[in-house]
Each structure stands twice: as structure tokens, then as C-alpha cells.
Amino acid sequence: MLTLQIKRNEFEAIASGKNKIEWRSPSRYNKRLLLTKNGDGLFVENTEIKEIRFVNGYRDNAPKIKLEVLFIRPYRFIRDVNEPENNFRGNEGENAIGIHLGRIIPE
């Protein structure tokens, strides 16, 4: 299972069910961690990661939440995107990685 750090606002939005997509920057680290490569060596959708744990902070007792992952996909925006419900804004021409979340899994 994959574990990622997350800011409090995003953590609370996911825990409340408001956020269904967690957006990540397409850094080299995130691409290798979250996506898979196709036969041409391009990063593409990942359906192999089935669960993810988000942690808000580094303390031993930091809030944690475990979720089902539906899929993880790279995006390139062809227009400006503003999704207040997902705490996300993307500009035309930018890239991002979307982690599409399912149900909360009890730990």
C-alpha cells in the first residue's frame, strides 16, 4: 500500500467525502511512484495501486486515512480548470496527476 503526505485542508476534504480526486504535480518522483510506463516508455494510467494511505503530518499520532484507489491518471489541461470542491486549479497547458479515490477503508 502506498502512503503519501497530505495537507490538512485536503485531508479534511477527503475524509468528509468532498474530495474525490487528489491532484499531484507531475514531478519525476511522482511519475515514477504513481504512474506506469507503456511500451513506448511514456507514463500512463495506473490501475495496479488499489489502496492508498494519506497522512497529515509526521508525528506518530498524525491523522491517517486509508482509501480505495479507482485509478491514477496523468492529465494535460487543454483549458483552465478550477475545481473548488477538489481544492484544485490548473492552467491551460499544465500537467498534473489525478488520484481518483473510492471508499474509505477502515484500518
pLDDT tens-digit readout, 22-40: 999 999 999 999 999 999 9
d(CA 63, CA 56): 5
Confidence of residue 80 (pLDDT cuts 50, 70, 90): very high
φ, ψ at 53 (rounded to 5°): -115, 125
**Mean pLDDT confidence for 81-93:** 84
**Mean pLDDT confidence for 47-58:** 95
Confidence of residue 68 (pLDDT cuts 50, 70, 90): very high
**Mean pLDDT confidence for 53-68:** 95
Q: Give the max Cα distance, the chain.
A: 43
Residue 89, C-beta contacts closer than 8 angstroms, at least 6 positions apart: 80, 81, 82, 83
**Mean pLDDT confidence for 87-93:** 87
pTM for this one? 0.91
d(CA 72, CA 46): 5
pLDDT of residue 107: 81
Determine the Cα angle at 54 with ends 4 and 103, to 5°: 130
CA 1 to mean position of chain CA atoms: 14
Residue 76, C-beta contacts closer than 8 angstroms, at least 6 positions apart: 93, 94, 95
